[in-house]
Amino acid sequence: MAAPLALVLVVAVTVRAALFRSSLAEFISERVEVVSPLSSWKRVVEGLSLLDLGVSPYSGAVFHETPLIIYLFHFLIDYAELVFMITDALTAIALYFAIQDFNKVVFKKQKLLLELDQYAPDVAELIRTPMEMRYIPLKVALFYLLNPYTVLSCVAKSTCAINNTLIAFFILTTIKGSAFLSAIFLALATYQSLYPLTLFVPGLLYLLQRQYIPVKVKSKAFWIFSWEYATMYLGSLVVIVCLSFFLLSSWDFIPAVYGFILSVPDLTPNIGLFWYFFAEMFEHFSLFFVCVFQINVFFYTIPLAIKLNPAKRIRPRLHHHHLLPPLPCPVAPLDLCRKCQLQFLLCHHTDLQRWAADRV
């Protein structure tokens, strides 16, 4: 499968490179459909200009990206287009291998259930074989890389592409069962856009399943593993935030980045819902409804974690991460690929579970 994936990557990079060199690049970069006040490349350039002048990039009200992003592009500004193309390619590769590994877990569990005779005799036609699922990782990589929204966001140099790469690697490392790397990538994603914090619970529960640790309040192993994962996550987040402070010698980035995300002061039109609601709202109601809307992003984490089985917990949280925040990422990669990877891989589990329930 390496050759088809390489071909898809070459085609995707070629399409992006052609658009970067076309007259459409400037037009695309200004479209509100693919950029937001938080992810706009023009705002990154403005922040870089202030940094070059020896002024804090957060001294104005324009730049709202994290310090690591501005220092990354401070050294790679001449290769920004290449950085965004590589970022998209890495996201696709991470999703490709994540789904491959998830396939293995699915078939291993399916084989075990078959050996234990947990399925009804007439369920055979619903059981998927490795050959039937062979091309799903490639399809997901293809859908991600050649999705028009993904391509346009890359050409617009929306920093959401970086957020999506971090989340994709969080998914990959979680599926592989690496708690340490999962915690690091989740910390990076949280640092970058705050809302991936909601993925902590589903990620932890999936890792517990991979470690065959029962999710029980009285289980000592459950509490030990949860404490270890939380410590790695919070420790990584603290290290990243402290590194940002040492780079800037200031805490100005906290209100400028996270305060901006939570308070939503910029009502520039984008594909989200916040700007429209608050543009039509009286000022004295704003604080109340900002709190209500922000709570709504986090509210579903525990109910979904309780209700859904471990393999399906991440998908709805990722949907909410992209749809409910005030400045959602317009990039569709993970939104589309979450549907693809979990819909393709889990739809037959729903059928099998239904058959098993009917049998009982």
pLDDT in tens, 158-176: 998 999 999 999 999 999 9
CA distance 264 to 81: 29
Q: Please give the pLDDT value at position 106.
A: 77
Q: Please give the pLDDT value at position 254.
A: 93
CA distance 241 to 6: 36
Q: Please give the pLDDT value at position 309.
A: 56
Residue 308 banded pLDDT, cuts 50, 70, 90: low
Residues 137, 1 contacting (CB under 8 angstroms): yes
Overall size of the chain counted in residues: 360
Residues 229, 183 contacting (CB under 8 angstroms): yes
Residues 226, 212 contacting (CB under 8 angstroms): no
Q: Please give the pLDDT value at position 89.
A: 96
Residues 359, 119 contacting (CB under 8 angstroms): yes
What's the structural domain count of the chain? 1
| Host domain of residue 88 | 2-359
Cβ atoms < 10 Å from Cβ of 45: 15
CA distance 25 to 22: 6
Between helix 136-145 and helix 80-115 the angle, nearest 10°, is 150
Q: What is the DSSP letter of 118?
A: -
pLDDT in tens, 15-68: 999 999 998 998 998 888 888 888 889 999 999 999 988 888 998 788 899 999
Does position 314 have pLDDT exceeding 60, yes or no? Answer: no
At 350, list the tokens. Answer: 């729903």
Q: State whether the Cα torsion 186-192-194-195 is positive or negative.
A: negative
- HSE-up of 350 (CA within 13 Å, CB side)? 8
Q: Please give the pLDDT value at position 277.
A: 77
Task: Give the amino acid at 37.
Answer: P
Q: What is the mean pLDDT of residues 83-107?
A: 91
pLDDT in tens, 326-342: 555 655 444 444 444 34
CA distance 87 to 128: 33
pTM, full prediction:
0.84
What's the alpha-carbon Rg for the chain, to the nearest Å?
22
The winner for highest mean pLDDT among 83-92, 269-278, 292-301 is 83-92
The position carrying tokens 């998209």 is: 88
Q: What is the mean pLDDT of residues 263-278?
A: 77
pLDDT in tens, 240-268: 999 999 999 899 999 999 988 888 887 77
pLDDT over 90 for what percent of the chain?
41
CA distance 173 to 186: 10
Helix (H) or strand (E) holding 236: helix 220-248
- Three-state DSSP at 323 gives helix
Does position 5 have pLDDT exceeding 50, yes or no? Answer: yes
Task: Give the amino acid at 48.
Answer: L
